[in-house]
Amino acid sequence: MEWRVPLADIDFGLEEEEAVQKVIRSRWLSMGEVTAGFEQDFAAFIGAKHALAVTNATAALHLACLAAGVGAGDEVIVPSLTFVATANAVRYTGAAPVFADVESLDWLTISPDSIESLITERTRAILIMHYAGYACDMPAIMEIARRHNLTVLEDAAHSIGSTLEGRALGAWGAVGCFSFFSNKNMTTGEGGMLTTDDDALAEKLRILRSHGMTSLSWDRHKGHAYTYDVVDLGYNYRIDEIRAALGRAQLKKLPANNARRKKLTALYRELLSELAPEVQVPFAKGRGVGCDHIMPALLPPGVDRIQFMEGLKSRGIQTSIHYPPAHRFQVYEEEWMKRGAALPVTEEAAAREVTLPLYPAMREEQVEWVAQAIRETLQENARPGE
């Protein structure tokens, strides 16, 4: 259907079109100098020593786990309130994801207290996720990791441009993993990036990204190498020049687009506090500077979420859910139940959360439409006796 207000939209224009055309005219499409330029630009933006472009953020997470030495018999503590790829990346290595609760309904990121309660002799790493672009409590998490000699990996898929204490999210742990999926703050359609300050980790990631090979096709094309060795069991997780070109163009727009998202989020908060104060909007009081990737809201307890979303749909407003809790998926639930670690805050947040439309080209009057529609829909769906 055609939405009056879609959930998300991309910001593509002449800059992206010209960047792609330039790559096509170059007649070199696989990973080459445009990718190298994109990696340099991104590393500078994050403040990292190394950046490596990959096919998507799931690949980035998988490689980060492998490079950190995660493998069979290990456990990695992860949030449940995340896209399932966070947990899947751990499982790909043969290790077990161990699900932690979130801090509170006001701040939906992984709880340091929950993390510490789940550490065992098998714990190898902590893989956190900056939900909606808002910072986890990184100082507390890094201190826990230091005391227990654990590696911290960051799923920064939501948080390109977010900072905490002046440091980019994705630059706190050993490796940061970013997403350029089509609904992200900057997009290449599919794509991802790894960042690290560790030279040895960077080299390991570089080798694993391309079949375990010691040189790339671009190296041989430019005459820098004639042959190669395969030194590890690697993967084909390479990006291409077209997506790298899109990424370079998108990165230039990111600061302005993030600022626009922040302005729209502030308007949402103001309007919802007036028109639908019973709707809880997390992340009101700041920790760092978020990039406002999505606009999560928690419906009042007892409201039928599907009925509510259908009410907005009937008004042409698209919504979503971020996320069904990963520990309740069939692939993980049995294993989670054996551990018996309750996740009460995650369960409540996941049952009540609705994601509202948010994108840079969204107009103020569209935010007003959504807020008014929320008020009307809640009134229509009010339970008997209220």
Distance CA 75, CA 90 (A): 8
Domain boundary among 195, 227, 250: 250
Q: Which two tokens stand for residue 60?
A: 């980035």
| Residues 45-66: tens digit of each pLDDT | 999 999 999 999 999 999 999 9
Residue 5 lies in a domain: no
352 in the same domain as 282: yes
Residue 304, Ramachandran bin (φ over 0: left; ψ between -120 and 50: alpha; else beta): beta
pLDDT bucket at 385, cuts 50 / 70 / 90: very low
Structure tokens at 329: 């998926």
Q: Is a pLDDT exceeding 80 seen at residue 379?
A: yes
pLDDT tens-digit profile of 139-179?
999 999 999 999 999 999 999 999 999 999 999 999 999 99
In a domain, 72, yes or no: yes
Residues 246 and 274 grouped into a single domain: no
Q: What is the pLDDT of residues 295-319, one digit of tens each?
A: 999 999 999 999 999 999 999 999 9
CATH number at residue 137: 3.40.640.10
- Torsions phi, psi for 196 (to 5 deg): -160, 155
Q: 162, exposed or middle or buried, with CB in 10 Å at 0-12, 13-18, 19+?
A: buried
Whether the predicted pLDDT of 1 surpasses 90: no
* The last residue of a domain, from among 250, 281, 302: 250
341 lies in the same domain as 299: yes
Which residues are part of the catalytic machinery?
A: 184
**Complete DSSP assignment for 74-100:** -EEEEESSS-THHHHHHHHTT-EEEEE
Asked if 232 and 259 sit in the same domain, the reply is no
Of 164, 163, 169, 195, nearest to 54 by C-alpha is 195
User: What residue numbers bound the domain in which 332 lies?
Assistant: 255-380
pTM of the model: 0.95
> For tokens 């990111």, what's the residue?
254
Are 235 and 267 in a shared domain? no
- 196-201's contacts with Cβ under 8 Å and 24+ in sequence apart are 196/48, 196/49, 196/50, 197/48, 197/49, 197/50, 197/171, 198/49, 198/50, 198/174, 199/49, 199/50, 201/50, 201/67, 201/68, 201/174, 201/175
